[in-house]
């Protein structure tokens, strides 16, 4: 028997969290079936906003449970499975977020409910969560004189260059090799972290360092490169 969960109450305890994960997973599966029927539209028990908010909680719990696991492993243990593919089917995208930003701009940047809607939409999306900082940074720049679409493209270009330059400098990576790796990653839609691609961009290693130190350093760089890649993947600025 499932417990009841309200949006304004924190889910406390591992057992309750697992219960919620199983319950919302069942809702996702049922919703996937019902959307094939025309009669389902307009007769949903949860409103679009409520569903989005519950999905945000679901993804928060997924992040919590997988934080120390293999990021590609959806089965955490025998009694928990996240319906990631079903979540992806109802993803919001950047175009939807920009539509909300335009709505905020049209209110002379006074309608704070739109900001709440943006935050909740980002939180309910697997894809957009990695872009949350980027989206928030842009929204903070919006003013009465903003041209949303053009300003967004320019902002992303500038921020992408700033982030990459900072990563190269902070980690002392090889400049040309790193940029080539990143350019190829966005061209191919995947960042290659196996083989010799990462080794080619690493800084010279001290002869006093152990293999463990080098591998730890390498993994740290891979994590940062992946975070950068996920942040900008799928955003068209050309």
Q: Are 231 and 163 in contact (CB under 8 A)?
A: yes
Does residue 212 share a domain with residue 180?
yes
pLDDT of amino acid 72: 45
Interval 217-235 mean pLDDT: 93
Model pLDDT for residues 147-195, shown as the tens digit of each residue: 999 999 999 999 999 999 999 999 999 999 999 999 999 999 999 988 8
Range of the domain at 222: 148-238
Does residue 214 share a domain with residue 177?
yes
Q: Does residue 2 lie within any of the structural domains?
A: no
Q: Does residue 7 lie within any of the structural domains?
A: no
Does residue 155 share a domain with residue 136?
no
Does residue 224 share a domain with residue 175?
yes
Model pLDDT for residues 21-42, shown as the tens digit of each residue: 988 888 888 888 887 777 777 7
**Structural domain ending residue among the three candidates 44, 65, 89:** 89
Count how many domains the chain has: 3
Does residue 228 share a domain with residue 163?
yes
As a whole number of Å, the end-to-end CA separation of the chain is 52
Predicted structure pTM score: 0.74
pLDDT of amino acid 133: 95
**Structural domain ending residue among the three candidates 123, 146, 169:** 146
Does residue 62 share a domain with residue 18?
yes
Does residue 205 share a domain with residue 135?
no
Least Cα distance to 217 among 183, 172, 174 occurs for 172
Least Cα distance to 158 among 99, 230, 233, 232 occurs for 232
How many other CB atoms are there within 10 angstroms of residue 195's CB atom? 8
Q: Does residue 9 lie within any of the structural domains?
A: no
Model pLDDT for residues 120-156, shown as the tens digit of each residue: 899 989 889 999 999 999 999 999 899 999 999 999 9
Q: Does residue 4 lie within any of the structural domains?
A: no
Does residue 209 share a domain with residue 230?
yes
Question: Does the pLDDT value for residue 71 go beyond 50?
Answer: no
Does residue 75 share a domain with residue 21?
yes
Tell how far CA 153 is from the center of its chain.
19
Q: Does residue 184 lie within any of the structural domains?
A: yes
Interval 47-61 mean pLDDT: 87
């Amino acid at each position: 028997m499932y417990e009841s969960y309200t949006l304004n109450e924190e889910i406390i305890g591992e057992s309750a969290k697992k219960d919620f994960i199983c319950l919302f997973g069942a809702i996702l599966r049922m919703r996937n079936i019902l959307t094939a029927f025309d009669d389902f539209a307009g007769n949903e028990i949860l409103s679009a906003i409520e569903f989005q908010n519950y999905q945000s909680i679901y993804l928060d719990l997924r992040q919590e449970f997988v934080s120390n696991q293999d990021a590609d492993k959806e089965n955490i243990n025998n009694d928990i499975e996240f319906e990631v593919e079903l979540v992806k089917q109802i993803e919001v995208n950047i175009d939807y977020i920009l539509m909300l930003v335009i709505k905020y701009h049209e209110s002379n940047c006074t309608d704070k409910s739109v900001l709440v809607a943006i935050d909740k939409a980002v939180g309910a999306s697997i894809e957009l969560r990695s872009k949350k900082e980027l989206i928030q940074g842009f929204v903070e720049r919006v003013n009465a004189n903003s041209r949303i679409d053009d300003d967004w493209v320019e902002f992303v270009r500038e921020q992408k260059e700033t982030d990459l330059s900072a990563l190269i400098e902070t980690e002392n990576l090889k400049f040309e090799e790193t940029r080539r790796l990143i350019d190829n990653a966005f061209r191919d839609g995947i960042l290659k972290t196996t083989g010799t691609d990462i080794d080619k961009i690493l800084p010279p290693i001290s002869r006093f360092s152990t293999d463990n130190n080098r591998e730890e350093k390498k993994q740290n760089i891979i994590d940062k490169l992946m975070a950068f890649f996920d942040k900008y993947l799928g955003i068209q600025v050309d």
